Amino acid sequence: MDLNRIRIIQGGMGIHMSSWKLAKAVSLKGQLGVVSGTAIDAVVARKLQLGDPDGNIRRALEHCPLKGVAQRVKERFFVEGGKDPGAPFKDLGSWSLPMTRSRIELMIAANFVEVYLAREGHDGPIGINYLEKIQLPALPSLFGAMLAGVHVVLMGAGVPAAIPEILDLLADGKEASMVIGIEANAALDVPAAIVRLDPSEYADGVLPVLQRPRFIGIVSSDTIARSLEKRAPGGVDGYVIEHHTAGGHNAPPEGIGRSRRTQRLPTDPRTILTLRRSGGSGNPIGWVEDMPLRKDWPSP
């Protein structure tokens, strides 16, 4: 996929606002359609319990390389004709440590389904968006999306420095791990938490060959971008820069005590280029989301 030809990156709006239908429509126009991976396990589980009336989820599950995982998810959640209107949905419970295998399998299958449906029937680019702050589902989510051949992983809401290396490991069929950001509490003796995922544990026989997707960090300042450059083994392929004018995520600068450096964002495209490595894919490129160019802001 030639990222240099992409001029529009559709926003990853959760939960299920950026559905596979929206992402597919954008991708069919030659731009980067993006599905939201946030809480996609709950979305897929509920749609199956409603009977999956259009059959899309079941059709996608039929193409999942992990046949056992797909079958168990279908058996657990699918209700022929839909559940009784007065009956509650199955309680998935909260994400917790240790993670249950059934919850991990649901997350793998759900991410596969969403990306598969977005990619079905065309060759356009598809990405998936996650939040760094929602860490526990990250490994099975990435694995499921990669099983469906996702082209790009986008992540913000933090500094997702571990993700590029995780993508490398999963693409090689190797076990990946991630340190979970738990606040230390000496009185409760809370150790550092590490989650792991070994792709071979979920494969039926030979693990399918996975393509390593590109990784794009979503950042709100040059400071975060520089931090990713230094801390991310495997490298960053590009950035989406969210100024407060993008809406929803970043409030406008306020307060007298802040330095000008932490308040501003680079707006000249040349500045964005200096914050990015090409990753061996050709000329560097940067993306700006809903961000006006201003000549009066200083360069880094």
Comparing 131 with 246, the larger pLDDT belongs to: 131
* pLDDT, tens only, 22-69: 999 999 988 889 999 999 999 999 999 999 999 999 999 999 999 999
Helix axes 163-171, 138-147, angle to 10 degrees: 50
More confident position, 209 or 107: 107
Q: In whole angstroms, what is the distance from residue 7 CA to residue 254 CA?
A: 32
pLDDT value of position 108: 96
Please say whether the dihedral angle defined by the alpha carbons of residues 281, 236, 232 and 129, taken in this order, is positive or negative: negative
Supply the pLDDT for residue 293: 36
How high does pLDDT run on average in the chain? 78
- Note the CATH architecture for domain 6-38+114-289: Alpha-Beta Barrel (3.20)
Tell me which residue of 93, 102, 111, 91 sits closest to 44, measured CA to CA.
111
Residue 79 burial by CB count (10 A; 0-12/13-18/19+): exposed, middle or buried?
Answer: middle
Compute the distance between CA of residue 255 and CA of residue 13 in angstroms, rounded to an integer. Answer: 29
For the chain, give every domain's residue range. 6-38+114-289
Distances, alpha carbon 263 to alpha carbons 33, 42, 157, 272, in Å: 30, 37, 17, 16
Task: Quick: pLDDT tens for 56-103.
Answer: 999 999 999 999 999 999 999 999 999 999 999 998 877 777 888 999
Residue with tokens 């590009």: 238
Q: Which two tokens stand for residue 223?
A: 């400071």
Contact between 114 and 128 under an 8 Å Cβ cutoff? The reply is yes
pLDDT per position as a tens digit, 256-285: 344 444 334 444 333 333 233 333 333 333
For residues 167 and 157, give the distance between their C-alpha atoms in angstroms, rounded to a whole number. Answer: 18
Whether 25 and 33 have beta carbons less than 8 Å apart is answered as yes
Q: CB under 8 Å to 277, separation ≥6 — which residues? A: 229, 235, 236, 237, 284
Q: How confident is the model at residue 291 (pLDDT cuts 50, 70, 90)?
A: very low
What was the pLDDT predicted at 226? 77
Average pLDDT of span 103-112: 95
Q: Give pLDDT, residue 298.
A: 36
